[in-house]
Amino acid sequence: MGEPTTVSHFLHPYQTCFKMLPPPTNILRLVVNLDRSAERLESISKQLSAQGLSFQRIHAIDGRKLSSEELARLEAPYDAPEKFVFRKALWPTEIACFLSHAACWEKLVKSNCEWGLIMEDDIVLSPRFKLFATSSDWIPQGVHVIQLHGSRQTFTVGENYPVHDTELFRIIQPTPLCTFAYLIHREAAAYALATYMPIPAPVDDWLFCPYSDFAKRFPPHRLLSACVWTLDGPSNIGDRACRRRLPTSVKVRLLRAIKSGGYRLTTMFQKKRSLTLTHD
């Protein structure tokens, strides 16, 4: 497994490392894990080991330990333009989760790997997982973000590509939520590091909302038959349906309408279809 990696809790927008590194190779596999979640680490360690896959552990940032001052500095104000993706207040655990994933992006960008496979610790791996986690040779040119997780859900999908024993689809709508296990190219990770602060949304909304600034550059993709799903256990994030209400910002509402409307227009004449994606 290797030694755990300690990274900065509050990352500054990435500027210089990316272009100074040697040519990238292979996939960097990272597992995000809280110090108090030893059982989850043991579970994912055994699963990866059974498939002959090594990984590095990223110490997850604990939202319980973030001060009110830190949270205020990290979260985007309710009327910030960035809030168009997500117009609700964030839980401290969501801010911590975002920072933990940003730590993974930083780790990837500073490595000599072209791709990062970022995994949360409460997942179940299909026997097929190794097909997609060992090499990036199967990934189509121009694709930068791929979710390996999934459940039975219907999406509007666009371009598709044959990959191994299934197909890969660009997701047009709705937002393919969760960050259980996803591949991200170092170019996309570098862009994410440069643009994520202040934090306006949960990390999955920010990465995968189809009309977000990030997803417009790096559209989300998902497998027809996913090779990762999640354990049926309590979430460390909290109840996302119960949130502190934010004041209404006309500016943010208008920007959201413009962004989402513009996205719908750009996809109106694209070749697309409705498809139900599943997992093993």
Q: Kindly report, residue by residue over 105-117, the tens digit of the pLDDT.
A: 999 999 999 999 9
Rounded-to-integer distance, Cα 206 and Cα 179, Å? 11
Residue bearing tokens 């909304």? 205
Q: Is the pLDDT of residue 20 over 80?
A: no
**Residue 17 maps to a domain:** no
Residue bearing tokens 């205020």? 72
Give the 3-state secondary structure percentages of the chain, helix then strand then coil, rounded to 5: 35, 25, 40
Rounded-to-integer distance, Cα 188 and Cα 190, Å? 5
Q: Is the pLDDT of residue 22 over 50?
A: no
Closest CA to 108 of 25, 218, 48: 25
pLDDT band of 269, cuts 50, 70, 90: confident
**Residue 13 maps to a domain:** no
**Residue 241 maps to a domain:** no
Residue-wise pLDDT for 78-96, tens only, equals 999 999 999 899 999 999 9
Rounded-to-integer distance, Cα 118 and Cα 182, Å? 6
**Cα dihedral 82/83/85/86 (nearest 10):** 150
**Residue 240 maps to a domain:** no
What H or E segment, with its residue span, contains residue 214? Answer: helix 213-217
**Residue 1 maps to a domain:** no
Rounded-to-integer distance, Cα 101 and Cα 254, Å? 29
**Residue 163 maps to a domain:** yes
pLDDT band of 166, cuts 50, 70, 90: very high
Alpha carbon 183 to its chain's center: 8
Structure tokens at 219: 């559209």
Share of the chain above pLDDT 70, in %: 86
Residue bearing tokens 């170092």? 186
**Residue 171 maps to a domain:** yes
Q: What is the pLDDT of residue 234?
A: 58
**Residue 16 maps to a domain:** no
Please tell me which residue, 272 or 14, carries the higher pLDDT value: 272
Q: What is the pLDDT of residue 8?
A: 52
Count of domains in the chain?
Answer: 1
Q: Is 212 helix (H, G, I), strand (E, B) or coil?
A: coil
Q: Is the pLDDT of residue 30 over 80?
A: yes
Q: What is the pLDDT of residue 4?
A: 46
Q: What is the pLDDT of residue 280?
A: 87
Domain that holds residue 176: 27-232+246-276
Q: Is the pLDDT of residue 14 over 70?
A: no
pLDDT band of 162, cuts 50, 70, 90: very high
Q: Is the pLDDT of residue 126 over 90?
A: yes
Q: What is the pLDDT of residue 6?
A: 42
Residue-wise pLDDT for 214-254, tens only, equals 999 999 999 999 999 997 755 666 555 667 777 888 989 89
Query: Domain holding 186: CATH number?
Result: 3.90.550
Q: What is the pLDDT of residue 7?
A: 45
Structure tokens at 208: 């995968």
